[in-house]
Protein backbone atom coordinates (compact mmCIF):
# COMPACT_ATOMS: atom_id res chain seq x y z
CA UNK A 1 0.00 0.00 0.00
CA UNK A 2 2.88 2.40 0.72
CA UNK A 3 4.13 2.08 -2.88
CA UNK A 4 0.63 2.76 -4.14
CA UNK A 5 0.60 6.08 -2.32
CA UNK A 6 4.03 7.23 -3.57
CA UNK A 7 3.13 6.79 -7.22
CA UNK A 8 3.06 10.46 -8.26
CA UNK A 9 6.83 10.63 -8.69
CA UNK A 10 6.64 7.78 -11.20
CA UNK A 11 3.39 8.55 -13.01
CA UNK A 12 3.30 12.36 -13.24
CA UNK A 13 6.36 12.64 -15.55
CA UNK A 14 5.11 9.77 -17.73
CA UNK A 15 1.68 11.35 -18.07
CA UNK A 16 3.34 14.68 -18.90
CA UNK A 17 5.47 13.09 -21.60
CA UNK A 18 2.53 11.29 -23.26
CA UNK A 19 -0.09 14.04 -22.95
CA UNK A 20 1.64 17.42 -22.81
CA UNK A 21 -0.50 18.26 -19.79
CA UNK A 22 0.65 20.92 -17.35
CA UNK A 23 2.12 19.78 -14.03
CA UNK A 24 -0.80 20.97 -11.91
CA UNK A 25 -3.37 19.51 -14.35
CA UNK A 26 -1.81 16.09 -13.76
CA UNK A 27 -1.22 16.38 -10.02
CA UNK A 28 -4.79 17.42 -9.26
CA UNK A 29 -6.42 14.57 -11.21
CA UNK A 30 -9.18 12.65 -9.50
CA UNK A 31 -9.89 8.98 -10.15
CA UNK A 32 -13.19 10.01 -11.76
CA UNK A 33 -11.23 12.08 -14.30
CA UNK A 34 -10.07 8.88 -16.00
CA UNK A 35 -12.77 7.02 -17.88
CA UNK A 36 -13.62 5.32 -21.13
CA UNK A 37 -15.75 7.33 -23.54
CA UNK A 38 -18.60 5.79 -25.58
CA UNK A 39 -16.21 5.05 -28.47
CA UNK A 40 -13.94 3.02 -26.18
CA UNK A 41 -11.14 5.59 -25.79
CA UNK A 42 -9.69 6.07 -22.29
CA UNK A 43 -9.36 9.75 -21.51
CA UNK A 44 -8.22 12.26 -18.94
CA UNK A 45 -11.03 14.75 -18.28
CA UNK A 46 -9.31 18.04 -17.43
CA UNK A 47 -11.86 20.09 -15.52
CA UNK A 48 -12.34 22.20 -12.39
CA UNK A 49 -15.51 20.58 -11.08
CA UNK A 50 -15.79 17.17 -9.45
CA UNK A 51 -18.66 14.83 -8.73
CA UNK A 52 -16.74 13.31 -5.81
CA UNK A 53 -17.20 16.35 -3.57
CA UNK A 54 -13.60 17.55 -3.66
CA UNK A 55 -13.68 20.90 -5.41
CA UNK A 56 -9.95 21.54 -5.19
CA UNK A 57 -8.89 21.90 -8.82
CA UNK A 58 -7.88 24.96 -10.80
CA UNK A 59 -7.32 25.49 -14.50
CA UNK A 60 -5.01 27.97 -16.16
CA UNK A 61 -7.63 29.28 -18.62
CA UNK A 62 -10.87 28.36 -20.41
CA UNK A 63 -9.02 26.37 -23.08
CA UNK A 64 -7.53 24.14 -20.39
CA UNK A 65 -10.94 22.43 -20.02
CA UNK A 66 -10.60 19.43 -22.33
CA UNK A 67 -10.39 15.68 -22.85
CA UNK A 68 -6.95 14.19 -23.47
CA UNK A 69 -6.81 10.62 -24.83
CA UNK A 70 -4.64 8.23 -22.82
CA UNK A 71 -1.82 6.66 -24.82
CA UNK A 72 -1.81 2.86 -24.83
CA UNK A 73 1.72 2.82 -23.35
CA UNK A 74 0.34 4.39 -20.14
CA UNK A 75 -2.38 1.75 -20.02
CA UNK A 76 0.13 -1.07 -20.56
CA UNK A 77 2.35 0.35 -17.80
CA UNK A 78 -0.58 0.03 -15.37
CA UNK A 79 -2.25 3.43 -15.06
CA UNK A 80 -5.75 1.93 -15.10
CA UNK A 81 -4.73 -0.69 -12.50
CA UNK A 82 -3.47 2.12 -10.27
CA UNK A 83 -6.76 3.94 -10.65
CA UNK A 84 -8.74 0.80 -9.77
CA UNK A 85 -6.63 0.15 -6.66
CA UNK A 86 -7.17 3.72 -5.49
CA UNK A 87 -10.92 3.47 -6.07
CA UNK A 88 -10.83 0.20 -4.09
CA UNK A 89 -9.19 2.12 -1.22
CA UNK A 90 -11.93 4.78 -1.52
CA UNK A 91 -9.48 7.46 -2.64
CA UNK A 92 -10.90 10.33 -4.68
CA UNK A 93 -7.60 11.71 -5.95
CA UNK A 94 -5.26 9.86 -8.32
CA UNK A 95 -2.25 11.04 -6.32
CA UNK A 96 -3.49 11.26 -2.72
CA UNK A 97 0.05 11.62 -1.38
CA UNK A 98 0.29 15.12 -2.89
CA UNK A 99 -0.97 17.84 -0.56
CA UNK A 100 -1.68 21.54 -0.73
CA UNK A 101 -0.42 23.65 2.16
CA UNK A 102 -0.54 27.38 2.91
CA UNK A 103 3.12 27.66 1.85
CA UNK A 104 2.58 25.37 -1.16
CA UNK A 105 -0.91 26.02 -2.59
CA UNK A 106 -0.46 23.66 -5.56
CA UNK A 107 -0.35 19.88 -5.62
CA UNK A 108 2.50 19.76 -8.12
CA UNK A 109 5.10 21.82 -6.30
CA UNK A 110 6.97 18.92 -4.69
CA UNK A 111 6.80 16.74 -7.83
CA UNK A 112 8.25 19.62 -9.87
CA UNK A 113 11.08 20.15 -7.38
CA UNK A 114 11.89 16.44 -7.24
CA UNK A 115 11.90 16.24 -11.04
CA UNK A 116 14.33 19.18 -11.24
CA UNK A 117 16.62 17.54 -8.66
CA UNK A 118 16.64 14.33 -10.70
CA UNK A 119 17.61 16.28 -13.82
CA UNK A 120 20.49 17.84 -11.89
CA UNK A 121 21.56 14.47 -10.50
CA UNK A 122 21.60 13.01 -14.02
CA UNK A 123 23.63 16.06 -15.11
CA UNK A 124 21.04 17.13 -17.66
CA UNK A 125 22.08 20.71 -18.35
CA UNK A 126 20.25 23.77 -19.54
CA UNK A 127 17.00 25.35 -18.53
CA UNK A 128 15.21 22.04 -18.00
CA UNK A 129 12.26 21.51 -15.70
CA UNK A 130 9.04 19.52 -15.61
CA UNK A 131 7.63 21.97 -18.16
CA UNK A 132 10.26 20.65 -20.60
CA UNK A 133 8.08 17.55 -21.00
CA UNK A 134 5.30 19.78 -22.34
CA UNK A 135 7.81 21.28 -24.79
CA UNK A 136 8.94 17.80 -25.87
CA UNK A 137 5.33 16.75 -26.50
CA UNK A 138 4.73 19.89 -28.55
CA UNK A 139 7.98 19.48 -30.50
CA UNK A 140 7.06 15.88 -31.41
CA UNK A 141 4.05 17.19 -33.32
CA UNK A 142 5.64 20.42 -34.56
CA UNK A 143 8.37 18.62 -36.55
CA UNK A 144 5.62 16.53 -38.15
CA UNK A 145 3.75 19.71 -39.16
CA UNK A 146 0.85 18.76 -36.88
CA UNK A 147 0.39 21.95 -34.85
CA UNK A 148 -3.18 22.14 -36.05
CA UNK A 149 -6.57 22.74 -34.42
CA UNK A 150 -6.71 19.16 -33.13
CA UNK A 151 -3.29 19.55 -31.49
CA UNK A 152 -4.33 22.87 -29.94
CA UNK A 153 -7.47 21.27 -28.51
CA UNK A 154 -5.46 18.46 -26.86
CA UNK A 155 -2.74 20.87 -25.70
CA UNK A 156 -5.24 23.24 -24.08
CA UNK A 157 -4.54 26.22 -26.33
CA UNK A 158 -6.97 28.46 -28.13
CA UNK A 159 -7.82 27.50 -31.70
CA UNK A 160 -6.31 30.29 -33.79
CA UNK A 161 -8.90 30.89 -36.49
CA UNK A 162 -12.34 32.31 -35.65
CA UNK A 163 -14.13 29.75 -37.84
CA UNK A 164 -12.39 26.89 -36.04
CA UNK A 165 -13.38 28.27 -32.63
CA UNK A 166 -16.99 29.08 -33.36
CA UNK A 167 -18.20 26.51 -35.89
CA UNK A 168 -18.42 22.78 -35.63
CA UNK A 169 -17.92 20.41 -32.73
CA UNK A 170 -14.74 19.65 -30.83
CA UNK A 171 -12.71 16.76 -32.19
CA UNK A 172 -13.74 13.47 -30.62
CA UNK A 173 -11.37 11.61 -28.33
CA UNK A 174 -11.19 8.78 -30.88
CA UNK A 175 -10.19 11.15 -33.68
CA UNK A 176 -7.58 12.79 -31.45
CA UNK A 177 -6.23 9.39 -30.43
CA UNK A 178 -6.19 7.94 -33.95
CA UNK A 179 -4.70 11.00 -35.65
CA UNK A 180 -2.32 12.32 -32.98
CA UNK A 181 -1.83 10.55 -29.66
CA UNK A 182 -1.21 7.06 -31.08
CA UNK A 183 1.67 8.49 -33.15
CA UNK A 184 3.79 9.04 -30.03
CA UNK A 185 6.58 6.48 -29.89
CA UNK A 186 9.44 7.00 -27.48
CA UNK A 187 10.95 3.55 -28.04
CA UNK A 188 13.35 4.67 -30.77
Please give, one letter per residue, the 3-state secondary structure of the chain: CCCHHHCHHHHHHHHHHHHCCCHHHHHCCEHHHEEECCCCCEEEEECCCCCCCCCCCCCCCHHHCEEEECCHHHHHHCHHHHHHHHHHCCCCECCCCCCCECCECCCCHHHHHHHHHHHHHCCCCCCCCCHHHHHHHHHHHHCCCCCCHHHHHHHCCCCCCHHHHHCCCCCCHHHHHHHCHHHCCCCC
Give the pLDDT mean for 111-119: 89
Q: Distance (Å, rounded) from C-alpha 163 to C-alpha 168?
A: 8
Q: What is each CA distance from 115 to 25, 51, 56, 119, in whole angstroms?
A: 16, 31, 23, 6
What is the structure's pLDDT at 167? 54
What is the structure's pLDDT at 168? 57
Q: Distance (Å, rounded) from C-alpha 165 to C-alpha 173?
A: 17
> How do residues 77-107 score in pLDDT, each as one tens digit?
999 999 999 999 999 999 999 998 888 889 9
> How do residues 156-179 score in pLDDT, each as one tens digit?
988 765 444 455 578 999 999 999
Q: What is the pTM of this model?
A: 0.90
> How do residues 18-32 score in pLDDT, each as one tens digit?
999 999 999 999 999
Give the pLDDT mean for 117-144: 88
Whether the per-residue pLDDT at 151 is higher than 50: the answer is yes
Q: What is each CA distance from 175 to 9, 10, 97, in whole angstroms?
A: 30, 28, 34
Whether the per-residue pLDDT at 59 is higher than 90: the answer is no
Bin 20: left if φ > 0, else alpha if -120 < ψ < 50, else beta: left
Q: Distance (Å, rounded) from C-alpha 12 to C-alpha 113?
A: 12
Residues 6+ apart with CB under 8 A from 147: 138, 141
Whether the per-residue pLDDT at 47 is higher than 60: the answer is yes
Q: How confident is the model at residue 72 (pLDDT cuts 50, 70, 90)?
A: very high
Q: How confident is the model at residue 185 (pLDDT cuts 50, 70, 90)?
A: very high
Amino acid sequence: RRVLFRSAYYWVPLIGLYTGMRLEEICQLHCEDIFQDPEGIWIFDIKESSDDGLNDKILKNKNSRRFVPIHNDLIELGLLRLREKLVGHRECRLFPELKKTPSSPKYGKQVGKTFSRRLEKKKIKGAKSFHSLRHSFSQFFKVRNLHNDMFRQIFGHEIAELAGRQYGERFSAKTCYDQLICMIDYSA
